[in-house]
Amino acid sequence: MKFIDEYRDSRLARGLANRIAQRSTRKITLMEFCGGHTHAILKHGIRQMVPEAVEMRSGPGCPVCVTATADLDKAIALSRLPDVIIATFGDMMRVPGSYSSLQQSKAAGADIRVVYSTMDALELAKANYGRPVIFVGIGFETTAPTIAAAILAARREGIKNFYVLSLGKLTPPVMKALLDADGLRLDGIVCPGHVSVIIGSRPYEFIARDYRVACVISGFEPLDILLSIDKLVEQIEHDRPAVEIAYARGVKPAGNEKAREIMENVFEVADARWRGIGTIPASGLKIRTEYERFDADKAFPVGPEQPLREPEGCRCGDVIRGSAKPVECNLFGKACTPETPVGPCMVSGEGACAAYHQYGLPENLQTL
């Protein structure tokens, strides 16, 4: 497939791996923010292609994983309301909440539908006139414009039974929170490719300038990621942190202004709670008052049915912050597997634990 196959060429990958090995003279720690990058790194054996001195940590770029248990509990509570249809991306179904999951709620009789697009959720509302359809609106800046577009379409078409539980999150504020936290010392960040398609490269500039941490925006094919690591190692070795784009076929410095206009029309920035991190100021998206009739929080205020409960022994929070690797969790591969997930990082297609479990060979898991 065009724009995919040519970025998987093994000869070109060896060339990059050789150059990274030549450049690398000291131990450094990089974080790949995006769960999609974590999966690609493990799937394509990139970890084994770069020198051991380059430590890779996975970050919080998995919308399902960073959804706070309290917010998941809220979605489950909404699913139990009479006549309500919940529309959600599939990854959310099996994530354990305090006492249940959306999947268990569905088994108990709730009407929960897995959708591929927000527009599918809107179609569901049209086809079920009279029943409230609530879309569980998780996602970073990549997805938020598509959720906003569905709300705009609902208003345009006069659809009155479509609602969004707004759980959208923003990338630069959580990066700042991680950099401000004690413990983790990062030299560079593999910045998310598709978030950057929307926001561009400028929102990361404070990281290079104020924290002196290298930033390279990366695509998702193996050569994209190797090229990004090469650029990061070069910046770090020369002590010249900057923001570079290694995914120029998709990302422009200014991002996608039209998508941002749609997003900013519907959403405003608000504080948001993150699993494993807590509340981060100005790190989330809430629906503007002008569109509040589509806001599930306003239309269906549900309080916690029972006290919040986090899964015992689960280290998803540490994994999300990059302060623990999946294999450092005592539950990994034992009590917690893709078949019996304890935390979201083992459920989601972007979760770090799921990636390590799927692609890590038992003999080298400790060194990944």
Contact set with another protein (CB under 8 A): 1-4, 6, 9, 11-12, 14-16, 18-19, 22, 34-36, 61-64, 89, 91, 116-120, 138-140, 142-143, 145-146, 149, 192-195, 197-198, 220, 223, 227, 230, 246, 248-252, 256, 258-259, 262, 348-350
Nearer to another protein, 156 or 185 (CB): 156
- Report the alpha-carbon distance of residue 256 to residue 207 in Å, rounded: 21
- Report the alpha-carbon distance of residue 61 to residue 36 in Å, rounded: 8
Shortest reach from residue 81's CB to another protein, in Å: 25
Shortest reach from residue 36's CB to another protein, in Å: 6
Nearer to another protein, 16 or 86 (CB): 16
Shortest reach from residue 231's CB to another protein, in Å: 11
Nearer to another protein, 138 or 243 (CB): 138
Shortest reach from residue 163's CB to another protein, in Å: 18
Enclosing H/E stretch for 259: helix 257-266
305 CB contacts (<8 Å, ≥6 apart)?
73, 77
Nearer to another protein, 6 or 328 (CB): 6
Task: Locate 364 and state its tokens.
Answer: 């080298």
3-state secondary structure of 350: coil
186 CB contacts (<8 Å, ≥6 apart)?
29, 30, 31, 57, 178, 179, 213, 322
Shortest reach from residue 53's CB to another protein, in Å: 18
Shortest reach from residue 143's CB to another protein, in Å: 6
3-state secondary structure of 16: helix
Task: Locate 133 and state its tokens.
Answer: 């359809």
Shortest reach from residue 333's CB to another protein, in Å: 24
Instruction: Answer for the pair 101, 108: CB distance below 8 angstroms, yes or no.
Output: no
Nearer to another protein, 92 or 331 (CB): 92
| N-to-C CA span, the chain | 30
Nearer to another protein, 227 or 331 (CB): 227
HSE on the CB side for 267, CA within 13 Å? Answer: 32
85 CB contacts (<8 Å, ≥6 apart)?
111, 112, 113, 124, 128, 131, 132, 133, 134
Shortest reach from residue 362's CB to another protein, in Å: 28
- Report the alpha-carbon distance of residue 214 to residue 208 in Å, rounded: 6
210 CB contacts (<8 Å, ≥6 apart)?
none
Shortest reach from residue 15's CB to another protein, in Å: 3
Task: Locate 178 and state its tokens.
Answer: 């991680």
Nearer to another protein, 65 or 277 (CB): 65
What are the CA-CA distances from residue 343 to residues 37, 41, 312 (Å)? 20, 22, 10
Nearer to another protein, 126 or 334 (CB): 126
Residue 130's Cβ-count burial label (10 Å; 0-12, 13-18, 19+) is exposed
Shortest reach from residue 248's CB to another protein, in Å: 4
Nearer to another protein, 18 or 279 (CB): 18
Nearer to another protein, 333 or 348 (CB): 348
